[in-house]
Structure 1
């Protein structure tokens, strides 16, 4: 269902997940429509900074020498097939990189909140809402959102500031999250920027049990209607 919400100043933080160069330069790991996603993220970041909303950035880095991953895909030289610690393409894209005073956290797993102090630190600062954007939707975004909800945060999922390897992968991942986004909401970049600036905005919120019964035929339409 759609209903109006507003987010209290001082109770919101913006979270940006894995917006790294490999997703536009590494042919094995390209994100569909990545330039548009980065442009939307830029708008979100500008809105957050203008309203004094704290920004938190994460990058996914694989260090097989320090992590126990027996089934992880590797190249012939033994390095990770993606996001290897020595690959310069793991750098955050310059146009959405942390500004002065904004920390970049490194994570070694899909979720930003599965381990480490981030969730507790945000809670201690009185954060109730997390505005979430980044890639890949069905992987690191999904894991981060689910752990954030389990930790007691309300998540504002910005659907057109997230992405994956294809439109179908992204759209069905958003629909799956929307079906169980208890306490949170789904909107687009326009709506998120308005909420960050203190406006009331009509957004999609889950009601009942798994209301979005999508099929191959109607998934794109349901996604567009969120």
Structure 2
């Protein structure tokens, strides 16, 4: 007998006691009209800015990520070969800059990565663990790429992934919605922005 979908997938994971906010790849490349990686909207950036303000008010740790490759993209391997627009992120050019709305404040870590997941090939997991973090709140781009990959790796590293629905974006609503559906079903939790902001406010010591 095949059980109903809700009995197989979608159990809830609790928002933990020690969250951190992870802002994934909110770089100019995704928000500059006419660029190959442009996602067509700034709504997720505006939402991420509000979530960031709430995290800072609650003294919740904040980590930013951005993508940058060495000369020729040699440190990007097959991923760099597969995704042609990544060539614009070689070095420290303007398209790799984090957007002013979510610019890092003093003391906020910026992780430079080469692959989709913020955990792959970086020290992110150990950095969060030593701070006692149990929950990673995710905002950024793109939902079907770096957000999904980071959510999957977060749960595999023992952190509860909380994806802020309004604070993530993609180039097309179809992969965006499909991946939010899958994340909620199997890899983490998808929360509305107001609920995340309220929860962060409760984190104030």
TM-score of Structure 1 vs Structure 2, range by shorter chain:
0.7 to 0.9
**Alignment size in residue pairs:** 191
Q: CA deviation at 1:40?
A: 0.5
SS of the residue corresponding to residue 174 of structure 1 reads: helix
Aligned to 1:44: 51
C-alpha separation in 1, matches of 2:183 and 2:13? 20
Offset from partner CA, 1:130-152 (integer Å, 9 cap, x none):
10111011111111110110000
SS of the residue corresponding to residue 156 of structure 1 reads: strand
SS of the residue corresponding to residue 89 of structure 2 reads: coil
Q: CA deviation at 1:7?
A: 3.8
Offset from partner CA, 1:5-62 (integer Å, 9 cap, x none):
5542xx11000000000111143111132x2111111110111011110100000123
Offset from partner CA, 1:80-103 (integer Å, 9 cap, x none):
534232431110001111111112
Q: CA deviation at 1:106?
A: 0.5
Aligned CA-pair RMSD:
2.4
Q: CA deviation at 1:3?
A: 7.2
Contact kept, 8 Å, 1:7 with 1:195, in 2: the verdict is no
- Aligned: 1:53 with 2:60: yes
C-alpha separation in 2, matches of 1:57 and 1:149? 19
Structure with greater proportional helix content: 2
C-alpha separation in 1, matches of 2:12 and 2:118? 28
Q: How does 1:53-132 map to 2 (within 5 A)?
A: 53-63=60-70, 64-67=72-75, 69-70=77-78, 72=81, 80-132=86-138
SS of the residue corresponding to residue 87 of structure 2 reads: coil
C-alpha separation in 2, matches of 1:192 and 1:132? 10
Which structure 1 segments of 5+ residues have no match? 200-226
C-alpha separation in 1, matches of 2:104 and 2:89? 19
Q: CA deviation at 1:179?
A: 1.5
C-alpha separation in 2, matches of 1:74 and 1:180? 26
Contact kept, 8 Å, 1:29 with 1:82, in 2: the verdict is no
TM-score, normalisation: structure 1: 0.77
Aligned to 1:194: 198
Q: CA deviation at 1:65?
A: 4.8
Aligned to 2:3: none
Cα distance, 1:58–1:27 mapped onto 2, change above 3 Å: same
- Aligned: 1:150 with 2:159: no
SS of the residue corresponding to residue 137 of structure 2 reads: strand
SS of the residue corresponding to residue 92 of structure 1 reads: coil
Poorly superposed stretches of 4+, deviation over 6 Å: 1-4
C-alpha separation in 1, matches of 2:21 and 2:110? 13
SS of the residue corresponding to residue 45 of structure 1 reads: helix
Aligned to 2:37: 29
Which structure 2 segments of 5+ residues have no match? 1-9
TM-score, normalisation: structure 2: 0.84
